[in-house]
Amino acid sequence: MKCLVVLCALVALSECLHRMPLIKVKSARESLEDQGLWEEYSNKYPYNPMVKFLQAGTEPMTNDADLDYLGVVSIGTPPQSFKVIFDTGSSNLWVPSVYCSSQACQTHTQFNPHESSTFQWGSHALSIHYGTGSMTGYLASDTVEVGGLSVTQQMFGLSQTEAPFMAHMKADGILGLAFQSIAVEHVVPVFDNMMKQNLVSQPLFSVYLSPNSEQGSEVVFGGIDENHYTGQITWIPLTSESYWQIKMDSVTVNGQTVACAGGCQAIIDTGTSLIVGPTNDINNMNAWVGAATNQYGRATVNCQNIQSMPDVTFTINGHAFTIPASAYVSQRSNGCSTGFGNGGLGGQLWILGDVFIREFYVIFNAQTNYVGLAKSV
């Protein structure tokens, strides 16, 4: 009798459910389409169902007194290791070679082509100029390993001469992460080859730079490390596919525009220590925060005044990115100075270097041509 009652109840429930209208819940895409946001969202966050099956490469970087951030790459078979600066302000990879007689090469690790079974000479010479030095040499190709990812047949430079300043660098060479359009001899950059060879899960890389000489800095190829930022990511469109270049609206102190009035162009550059801009703008910024510029162009401040110095806000694409004095003033044995320097690229292009990047986790998306910024932690 009890079984019959249960059976009848189940039949009644089934008939009831069958008669009930189905309630359709809108998908995330439908909700975004209703709000007119789907196209913008899909451009920023393209769907990639293979993400969970593919990989990313994380390369730790050493913080050299907040001046440089160095990682290790290996070139050749068997691998020869080199310390490099991961530079979003250039596009070529190069390292010293055994054929270089410059003092800078003698103080750094040198690549020996004869010790690599996968090495091949290229057909072009190479000459690269940076803000603080230059190199000349020859192009070649070999296997390059970085962050656990092996890039085959990567074109890179072997230096034959290096400028005297390079002797003072702790890095052996430089690995450029900007676009191929500015690569010397139009060489395909390392990250472009990572994407072409399907080594990364997403067409982006991200950078965390630690402050106060602390360790923990890293670059993630093909991924984002959520442990290094808090809050939402603000996505900013590029204005040029050369450097990672964006439009900046203004620079303000205490609500007053002190630089970049009417807007200006800026690049986000891991290879530059300071925030650099046109001379007049930088001088005005330094004056507003209470710094005095000496004969060598160093903007010095009284170390006792840091806590009372104002924040500096960079407004980019309508979003405010604020840097406190504790972040833009460096304290060294010879005193304190700001991280604002003269002489942008071409005199007008701003460079948002490490002083800025230490405050904001940066994601460089090579497919959507957006840069993502979020507060670093």
Run of H or E residues at 218: strand 217-221
Distance CA 226, CA 361 (A): 10
DSSP 8-state class, residue 172: S
Q: Phi/psi at 255 (nearest 5 deg)?
A: 80, -5
- Residues contacting 162, CB < 8 A, separation 6+: 96, 100, 102, 104, 105, 133, 134, 135
Run of H or E residues at 189: none
Distance CA 330, CA 338 (A): 6
Give residue 298's Cα distance to chain centre: 26
Name the amino acid, one letter, at 372.
G
CA distances for 234 relative to 150, 225, 369, 375, angstroms: 31, 15, 13, 10
Distance CA 93, CA 30 (A): 45
DSSP-derived secondary structure for 95-145: EEBTT--SHHHHTS--B-GGG-TT-EEEEEEEEEEETTEEEEEEEEEEEEE
Q: Phi/psi at 84 (nearest 5 deg)?
A: -130, 155
The residues that are catalytic are 87, 269
Our CA angle for 263, 258, 65, nearest 5°, is: 95
What's the burial of 5, exposed, middle or buried (CB within 10 Å: 0-12/13-18/19+)? exposed
Say whether the peptide bond before residue 113 is cis (omega within 30 degrees of 0).
no
Distance CA 84, CA 353 (A): 17
